[in-house]
Amino acid sequence: MGSSIFLQSNSLLESLIHLSNEVSSIEKLPSIQVRNVSTMLRRIKVLTSLFEEIQESNNPMLPPSSVLCLSELFSVIRRVKSTMEGCKNGSSLWGLIQTERLSNQFHVFVKEIARALDILPLSLLTVTVDIKEQIELLHRQAKRVELYVDPKEIQTRDVLLTLMASEKNMFDVETVKHVFNSVGLKTVLDYEEEMSKLEDEVHKQAESEENDVRQVSGSVGKSTSASFNVPDEFRCPISLDLMKDPVIVASGHTYDRSSIAQWINTGHYTCPKSGQRLIHMALIPNYALKSLVHQWCQENNIPLMECSSNAESEKKTCEKAVDHISATKVAIDSVKRTAEFVVGKLAMGSVDIQRQAAYELRLLAKTGMDNRRIIAEAGAIPFLVTMLSSNDPRTQENAVTALLNLSIFDNNKILIMAAGAIKNIVDVLESGKTMEARENAAAAIFSLSMIDDFKVAIGAHSQAIPALVALLREGTTTGKRDAAMALCNLALYNANKLKTVAAGAVPLLIELLMDDKAGITDDALGVLALLLSCPQGLEAIKKSRPLVPLLIDLLRFGSAKGKENSITLLLGLCKDGGEEVARRLLINPRSIPSLQSLATDGQVKLMFNRSELKWLKLSDSEQ
C-alpha cells in the first residue's frame, strides 16, 4: 500500500528539497501579495531545513504518517510555487483585481501545511532540537494564522476599478501612474509587457468559460446516462444508487462507503442487510467490485465521480471559496488514507510497529472532529481496546490516550463502550504501566461518563470508582483533577454516590481541600456537594471537624463556583443537626462577616436559589 500511495521516501525527500529550493530562489518577487509571499517563503525555508535533516539521517524506514505528511507538503509547496509564479509572470493588474482570491489561496496553503504537520511524529524522526523547536513553532503559528488581505492593495484595486468604470479620457493621469507604480509598472516597456499579459489573461478567461459550458453539458450527459439500467450487484443496498466507493463491513456485505458511514454515524451497529451485529466498524475497500464498476461505467460512457452532489450543493460550492473546500477534501482524504494504513499496522504489525501505530493515531486524533470520526470508521477502536492490555508501557499509554482523544467525538463514545472497553480502561486506571496512562484512563472515563447511560455502566464495574479514588490519592495535579471530574460525573447517578463514599472518597476530598498544592479545590467541593444528598455521604462529611472552618475560608477567598458549593455544604449540614454546625459557625469569628458579605452582594440568595435550600436556623443562631 505504501509504495502505491507514496513516493519512496528518499526520492520524495530529494524532490521536496529541490522544489523548496526552487521556490526559495525565485528572483524578483511579485509586486502584489508581498506580505503573503514573503511569509510563505520563510515557512518554506524552515521546512527545507527539516527535509535536509531527515535526508541526512539516512533512515530507510520513515513512519507512514511522516511519509504522508511529506507527500502532502510536496503537494502544497508545488501549488505555492505555481501561485507565486502566476503572481510574478502574470498580469499585475489582473492580480490586483483578484487580490482577495489570491490572499485566500495563500491562507489555504498555510492551513494545509498545519494539517499536514498535525500527523508528523517529530519524536520518531532524527532531527536536532533546534529544528524540532522551529517546526513546532511553525506548526502552532500556522494553526492560528488568520486570513491577511493587504489593505493597501484593496484600496489601490478600488481606485483601479473606479478608473475602469470612468468614461473615456475622463480620468486623472497621475492617478493612473500611481496605480501602475504600485504594482511595479514604471516604464513604457513595462506597460507593453502588461498589455501582452492582459491579452493572454483575456484568452485564458474565455477558455475557462468554454470549459464551464462543457462541464455543464457533461453534467447533463451524466443525468441522461443515469437512466441506464444499473446492475443490482453494483447498487448500494442502502441508497440503491451506483456504488462509487464499495466497502465491505464485518458481516461480509458490501455497501457504498458514504451510505454505510452515515448509517454507522447515526448510531446503528448492525448490518443493514442481514441485521447481524457488527463486531467491528472497519470499512474494507472492495477493490474487485470497484474495478468492475469502473469497467461498466467506461463501457456505458458514464463518468464515475468520487463525490456526487445535488444541484443545490453544487450551487453552494460555487458560491463559497472553492480553494478552501477542495483543500478540506484533500485533508480529509489524506487523514482517511493514513487511518486505514495505520489501522492495518495495528492489526498485523509487530509489537514495535503497533506501538508506533498507536502513537500516530494518538497524534492524529488529537485535533479535529473529522479526524476522530475517520479513525473510528477505519476500525481503530477494537484494536486500541485490545492494546490496553499490552505489557509494553508506551503501547498501553498510546492506546489509552488515543481512545481518550477519540472519545471527544460523541458517536465514538458509543463505539468505545460497544467494543467492551470499560473493563480494560479500568484495568489501566487501577494498575497502568505509567502514571500518564492511569491519568488518561481517568480522563477517558470522565469523557465517556458524559452520556447518562454510561454513568450506570461504568459505576457497575466493581473497581471503577475505587480506582478513581486511588488516583485522587496518588496522581499528579492533573490526574487528581481528572479523577475528581470523573467522580463528579458518576456521582450524578445515586447508586454511584454510595460506592464513592464506601471507597473512602470523603476524607480524602476534605484532605485535598486543605492541600493548596493539590489545586483541585472546586472539583473536590463539587463531589462533596453531590455526596451530601446521600445519607452515608452526609454522615461521612459530618465527621470532619476541620471542614466547617475550611468552608468559611472558601466563602471569603474561593471562586464563585467554590463559594456556591461551600454554601450548599454548610446548608446541608445545618439541615441535619443544625445546632452543632451553627455552634461551630458562631465560634468562628470569620463566619458571620463572610455570610453577611455574600448576602450584601446578592451571592447567597443566588446560591440558595440554585441549590433550592433555605437558611434553616442560621438566622436564629445569629440572633
Provide the pLDDT for residue 539. Answer: 85
Residue 220 pLDDT class (50, 70, 90 cuts) = very low
**Cell reading at 66:** 511522516
pLDDT band at 395 (very low <50, low <70, confident <90, very high): very high
Q: In percent, how much of the chain has pLDDT > 90?
A: 24
Name the percent of the chain lying above pLDDT 70.
78
- Give dist(CA 214, CA 211) in Å, integer: 5
Fold (topology level) of 232-285: Herpes Virus-1 (3.30.40)
Starting from the edge strand earliest in sequence, which strands make up the sheet with 284-285, in order?
254-256, 246-248, 284-285
Residue 601's pLDDT band, with cuts at 50, 70 and 90, is low
Alpha carbon separation from 145 to 109, 133, 138, 141 (Å, rounded): 11, 18, 10, 6
In the chain, the N- to C-terminal Cα span, in Å, equals 82
Contact in structure between 438 and 429 (CB atoms under 8 Å): yes
pLDDT at residue 316 in the model: 40
575 against 465, higher pLDDT? 465
More confident residue, 198 or 450: 450
| 191 backbone dihedrals φ, ψ, rounded to 5° | -65, -40
More confident residue, 402 or 282: 402
Work out the pLDDT band at 188, boundaries 50, 70, 90.
confident
The pLDDT-based confidence of 541 (bands split at 50, 70, 90) is confident
Per-residue pLDDT, averaged over 363-371, amounts to 82
Average pLDDT on 172-195 reads 82
Q: Which of 306, 310, 308 is nearest to 336 (CA)?
A: 306
Average pLDDT, the chain: 78
Q: In angstroms, rounded to a whole number, what is the distance separating the alpha carbons of residues 576 and 607?
A: 19
CA distance linking residue 218 with residue 207, whole number of Å: 16
CA torsion through residues 172, 177, 180, 182, sign: negative
Q: How would residue 349 be classed by pLDDT, with cut points 50, 70 and 90? A: confident
299-327 per-position pLDDT tens digit: 777 765 543 333 334 334 333 333 333 44
Record the cell numbers describing residue 109, joined without a space. Answer: 496553503
Residue 268 CB contacts under 8 Å (≥ 6 apart), including other chains: none
Give the mean pLDDT of 249-253: 80
DSSP assignment of 291-353 equals: HHHHHHHHHTT----SS---HHHHHHHHHS-HHHHHHHHHHHHHHHHHHHHHHHHHHH--HHH
Q: Give the Cα separation of 622 and 554 in Å (integer).
A: 20
Secondary structure of 136-148 as H, E, C letters: HHHHHHHHHCCCC
Instruction: DSSP for 169-202, please give it.
Output: T-S-HHHHHHHHHHTT--SHHHHHHHHHHHHHHH
The pTM of the full predicted model, rounded to 2 decimals, is 0.56
The secondary element (H helix, E strand) that includes residue 284 is strand 284-285
- A 10 A CB-CB count for 172 gives 10
- The residue among 511 and 602 whose pLDDT is bigger is 511
Mean pLDDT for 43-56 is: 91
Banded pLDDT at 579 (limits 50, 70, 90): low
Cell of 390: 499490552
Q: For residue 552, is pLDDT > 60?
A: yes
Alpha helix stretches (DSSP H) within 388-493: 393-406, 410-418, 421-431, 435-448, 452-460, 464-474, 477-490
Residue 408's pLDDT band, with cuts at 50, 70 and 90, is: very high
Q: What pLDDT was estimated at residue 167?
A: 64
As a whole number of angstroms, the distance between CA 475 and CA 468 comes to 10
- The CA distance from 502 to 428, in Å, is 22
pLDDT for res 461:
92
In the chain, where the domains are located: 1-152, 232-285
pLDDT band at residue 221 using 50, 70 and 90 as cut-offs: very low
What pLDDT is recorded for position 592? 58
Phi, psi of 242 (to 5 degrees): -60, 130
Say which residue, 227 or 322, is predicted with more confidence.
227
Predicted local distance difference test score (pLDDT) of residue 547: 78
Once rounded to an integer, what is the mean pLDDT over residues 439-453? 94
User: For position 427, what pLDDT does the model report?
Assistant: 96
Residue 387 has pLDDT above 90, yes or no: yes
Q: Which pLDDT value is given to residue 317?
A: 37
Length reported for the chain: 623
pLDDT tens sequence across 86-109: 888 888 888 888 888 888 889 989
The pLDDT score that the predictor gives to residue 321 is 34
Question: Which pLDDT belongs to residue 483?
Answer: 93
Q: How confident is the model at residue 281 (pLDDT cuts 50, 70, 90)?
A: low
Section 142-149 average pLDDT: 89
Q: Which three cell numbers stand for residue 99?
A: 487580490
Q: Is the pLDDT of residue 135 over 90?
A: yes
Per-residue model confidence (pLDDT) at position 155: 87
Q: What is the pLDDT of residue 402?
A: 94
Give the pLDDT confidence score for residue 41 in this predicted structure. 92
